Amino acid sequence: MKMADDQPIIEISWNNGKLQLYKKFIRLDRTTWGAFLRWPDSNWRKDIFFKNIVAISINNIGILEGSINFSLVWGNIVKKKGFFSNSYTEEQKDENTITFFWKKNWTKALQIKKYIEDHMTIEAQNQNEADEIEKLRNLMKKWIITEKEFKSKKKKILG
């Protein structure tokens, strides 16, 4: 299925915000009334590119409620302000956590997790290939291997 770059592939929304999955990033949207109750000083949207995500966790946090959390390279920010913030767990206060309701959103959360992890793996593999080619290029520049050897090894790396 081909999607336009400006259209979300999957979307989850509930009381503390909205999560939209795009081809190369996720968008966390805290412009809902529920988000305002947790974080009165917030009215924001944040885009997180897959390369900045180190882990994704999905949890049951109640009988009918679940959450999806994104751990980032630079760490997560926990907000403690809010009208009802004392009744939430630390994970629920984390600005990189979206809580959701109903089974259909649990399935969507699992799909989002798999999509991002698959793309994180592909990006890591592409980066490794680029690093290997750069090393070969440096060897060629230092006259350790010939241009012909460089092209042959590059072709093997790229398949």
Tell me: the pLDDT tens digits for 91-118? 456 778 888 887 778 889 999 999 999 8
Position 34 confidence tier, pLDDT thresholds 50, 70, 90: low
Tokens of 92: 């629920």
Rounded distance between C-alpha atoms, residue 156 and residue 159, angstroms: 5
Q: Domain total for the chain? A: 2
How much is the pLDDT for 108? 92
111 belongs to a structural domain: no
CA Rg value for the chain:
21
2 belongs to a structural domain: no
110 belongs to a structural domain: no
18 belongs to a structural domain: yes
How much is the pLDDT for 96? 84
113 belongs to a structural domain: no
The neighbour count for residue 22, using CB atoms within 10 Å, is 18
149 belongs to a structural domain: yes
Domain of residue 84, residue span = 10-102
Buried/exposed code over 46-81 (b: 16+ C-beta within 10 A; e: otherwise): eebebeebeebeebeeeeebbbbbbeeeeeeeebee
Residues 39 and 76 placed together within one structural domain of the fold: yes
Mean pLDDT across the chain, nearest whole number? 78
1 belongs to a structural domain: no
CATH classification at residue 28: 2.30.29
Query: What single letter denotes the amino acid at residue 151?
Result: K
